[in-house]
Amino acid sequence: MSHTVIIGNGISGVTAARHIRKRSDDRITIISAETDHFFSRTALMYIYMGHMTYENTKPFEDHFWSKNRIDLMREYVSTIDYAKKTLQFSNGGTLAYDKLILAVGSKPNKFGWPGQDLDGVQGLYSYQDLELLERNTHGPLVKYPVKKKVKRAVLVGGGLIGVEFAEMLMTRDIEVTFLVREDRFWGNVLPKEEGELVARHMIEHHVDLRLNTELAEVIPDENGRAKAIKTKDGETIECQLVGLTAGVSPNVAFLRGGELEIDRGILVDEYLKTNIADVYAIGDCAQMRNPSKGRRPLEQVWYTGRMMGETVGATLTGTPTPYKPGYWFNSAKFFDIEYQTYGTVPARDLDGLSEFYWEHPDGKICIKIVFETATRRFHGINTFGIRMRHERFDKWLNEERSVDHIMEYLADANFDPEFYRKHEKAVVYKFNAEQGTSIIPKKRSWKRIFSIA
């Protein structure tokens, strides 16, 4: 019986284990130093905010693993001997494998700021980060909170984790100053209009948002704990907590220096194979050597981890399957505003592309559509405050539909509940005025929505 060992019990590793079990009787072991059981990482903020408990975030009952003959180990892997196919644990133990899946996830970025490792400075990725945040902010669930109450936190770096971090802290009446080095929020992802919309919304929620502002250093007090930060402009901002939310990077430091080929992440081919026989990498730590058109080499989002787990599960059980994620999509929430994106919407350089932008007068709802200038082929869409149907846009992208077709049948993609106000007429009216077209929005048809033609 072959033994598959998976390092990491996040969505990618657990999905791989489940699909291997569905398709084989192989022995399976999942190793994690973070938690005993798989939990929903995206729900960490809801535990802190009191909406859920840790037990609520576990998708499977604890008996699920023994019932499905998946062994769980709470260990930290220190080294790997690929020639002998053996893992070495930090406590001195070892474990042999036949096939190895590296699903070791990410860690918060640090960029060498002076004081970045002081007490009171932390990221927000792991369950241990949540426990540390509870302690750092006088959480009710910790026995020994810090003595100095947190009145203000400074968050460094504009992105999705930063917004969640801010929302969490503000539920405990902690004031938040947010440092963003770009000229708009999430400037490496969002175009100008969308970045400005998010920035306005954050300010409305009383976030002290500082654009074009970079961290220079974290200043310690007499006990070696963060008491303030200094910006590159020389401003000092007093605070009792510093949150590092400038993105994440693959958690691969312990794997470097050996024969495993690593760039930013672990390099894999389309079958998620590394350069070492019987060793695979999936999820946040995997870097595609030749990514699909329109996709990035590293994509650290929940659904790509799940898809990689399914893919490698098939490959390791006799059905070699290439990883084909299709067109890019993602969704998130900025306080009260939902965000979705399908296809590719460049943040800055259009280069042969044109764009159309519509925004509701309330400043909280918008649509950005990008299309090829020469052919008018639809390229991608961002929406804020409007829910859209993934399957509809995926179909249009695969069919290489024109932007005019998208505008004509835009109502078919609307996923908002029945009594929500629709905005298609206003959107198309502005599009016609700017593009010189005379498109008439089609009446919404459920037959069109479910048609495969």
In a domain, 115, yes or no: no
- In our burial notation (b when 16+ CB lie closer than 10 A, e otherwise), range 26-65 reads bbbbbbbbbbebbbbbebbbbbbeeeeeeeebbeeeeeeb
In a domain, 322, yes or no: no
For residues 12 and 20, is the Cβ–Cβ distance under 8 A? no
**CA–CA distances in Å: residue 265 to residues 16, 251, 268, 416:** 19, 8, 9, 38
- pLDDT, residue 146, reads 75
Do the strands 77-81 and 86-89 form a parallel or antiparallel pair, or are they unpaired?
antiparallel
- pLDDT, residue 419, reads 56
**CA–CA distances in Å: residue 385 to residues 169, 369, 415:** 23, 15, 11
- 253 and 288, same domain (yes or no): yes
- 127 and 228, same domain (yes or no): yes
- 125 and 228, same domain (yes or no): yes
d(CA 149, CA 6): 41
- pLDDT, residue 448, reads 47
- 306 and 348, same domain (yes or no): no
Report residue 315: phi and psi, to 5°. Answer: -60, -45
- 95 and 145, same domain (yes or no): no
- 256 and 235, same domain (yes or no): no
- pLDDT, residue 195, reads 96
d(CA 276, CA 288): 15
- pLDDT, residue 159, reads 87
Residue finishing a domain among 269, 286, 315: 315
- 257 and 367, same domain (yes or no): no
Number of domains in the chain: 3
For residues 86 and 92, is the Cβ–Cβ distance under 8 A? no
In a domain, 336, yes or no: yes
> And the tokens for 31?
């190793």
- pLDDT, residue 453, reads 37
CATH number at residue 307: 3.50.50.60
In a domain, 376, yes or no: yes
- 232 and 173, same domain (yes or no): yes
- 310 and 337, same domain (yes or no): no
Structural domain including 49 reads 3-106+249-315
Q: Look up the pTM and report it.
A: 0.94
In a domain, 374, yes or no: yes
Per-residue pLDDT of 144-194, as tens digits, reads 777 678 999 999 998 899 999 999 999 999 999 999 999 999 999 999 999
- pLDDT, residue 406, reads 97
- 255 and 227, same domain (yes or no): no
Residues near 206 by beta carbon (within 8 Å), at least 6 away in sequence: 170, 175
Sites in the chain below the pLDDT cut of 70: 140-141, 147, 417-421, 443-453
- 274 and 343, same domain (yes or no): no
